[in-house]
Amino acid sequence: MAAIAESLDHPFMLRPGTRDDAGACGRICYEAFGAIAEKHSFPPDFPSAEVATELLSGLLTHPGFYSVIAEAEGRIVGSNFLDERNAIAGIGPITVAPHTQNQAAGRRLMADVLNRVADKGFPGVRLLQATYHNRSLALYTRLGFVAREPLSTLQGPPPGVELPGHRVRPATRADLPHCNRLCIRVHGHDRDGELSEAIDRGTARVVEHAGRIVGYTTLVAFFGHSVGESNDALKALIAAADECPGPGFHVPTRNVELFRWCLENGLRVVQPMTLMSIGLYNEPAGAYLPSIFY
């Protein structure tokens, strides 16, 4: 993809992020997401500044993430991140301090990571956008993103049901090739970087049917993704989850069968989101739950 041109007439300086930025960035992240959610009568993604700080501290120190900080007059006013663990890059979270919004800081932070995508030669990049946030939808569209999929973020205790013939178990390193092939079959690329980490953390699960793996999840949660040959594979993974931590997990709204099953089993819609992409994108050839990155 081509690099994004930037205007030099701006009050912001951009620099790489460091672990020492976590406190300031976490506070801004909490305040920014909270302000826009409250304005539209939606619950915030983060319950406290401490939770946001813990998340961004992990991203700032993770070797698989690129980070960029925006400063004005020596003070941090925003940040953005790029997940570089897989063949397709993922953007976010991007946040700008409420008092600094509408001054082009967000555009500069997005242009920076998109230039990074071009420099690193990623064939595609994606993000999830809060559908009620009109300004970000307009900005991302102007920057070249295409809206690909409407999503519903769901919350609630996992359904206590069983899918006949489907067995869910912890994923192991031996399962990695099978899961990667499944992801390639559904999406056209694998997500080996994320899945490997989830297996090492002990959060990844696979579901077997008729003696073979038909689905996997890194975690049924905001930052986890799942892939299945069928809706039944995903239903089994959702039902077997101990919990769905964080703000919820994302279900493609057009997948009416899966969406309705979730609602009928007590899960509730928290907010609408939109999956957007630049570059390589294949219409999924199976069932899936995207993470907050894609």
HEC-encoded secondary structure of 78-108? EEEEEECCCCCEEECCCEECHHHCCCCHHHH
- For residue 144, the tally of other CB atoms under 10 A from its CB is 15
pLDDT, position 11? 75
Q: DSSP of 245-277, one letter per residue?
A: -TT-EEEETT-HHHHHHHHHTT-EEEEEEEEEE
Residue 9, pLDDT above cutoff 70: no
Q: Which residue has the higher pLDDT, 104 or 50?
A: 50
Sketch out the chain's domains with CATH numbers. 13-122 (3.40.630.30), 154-289 (3.40.630.30)
Distance, CA of 24 to chain centre: 22
Region 66-87: mean pLDDT is 96
Average pLDDT of the chain is 94
pLDDT, position 3? 59
Strand 226-228 and strand 205-209: the pairing is: unpaired
Cα–Cα nearest to 147, from 158, 160, 157, 134:
134
pLDDT, position 8? 45
Region 247-267: mean pLDDT is 97
- What's the pLDDT tens digit per position in 212-227? 999 999 999 999 999 9
pLDDT, position 67? 98
The band of 196, judged by pLDDT with boundaries at 50, 70 and 90, is very high
pLDDT, position 244? 87
Region 126-149: mean pLDDT is 96
Region 222-249: mean pLDDT is 95
Residue 74, pLDDT above cutoff 70: yes
Indicate the residue type of 201: R
In a 3-state reduction of DSSP, which class is residue 239? helix
Phi, psi of 190 (to 5 degrees): -100, 175
Give residue for tokens 């983060």. Answer: 46
Q: Which residue has the higher pLDDT, 172 or 37?
A: 172
- Using CA atoms, how far apart are residues 80 and 218, in angstroms rounded to an integer? 23
**H or E element at residue 211:** none
Q: DSSP of 154-205, one letter per residue?
A: EESPPP----TTEEEEE--GGGHHHHHHHHHHHHSS--HHHHHHHHHHT--E
- What's the pLDDT tens digit per position in 20-33? 999 999 999 999 99
In a 3-state reduction of DSSP, which class is residue 8? coil
- Any idea of the CA torsion for 245, 247, 250, 251, to the nearest 10 degrees? 90
pLDDT, position 133? 93
The band of 245, judged by pLDDT with boundaries at 50, 70 and 90, is confident
pLDDT, position 1? 60
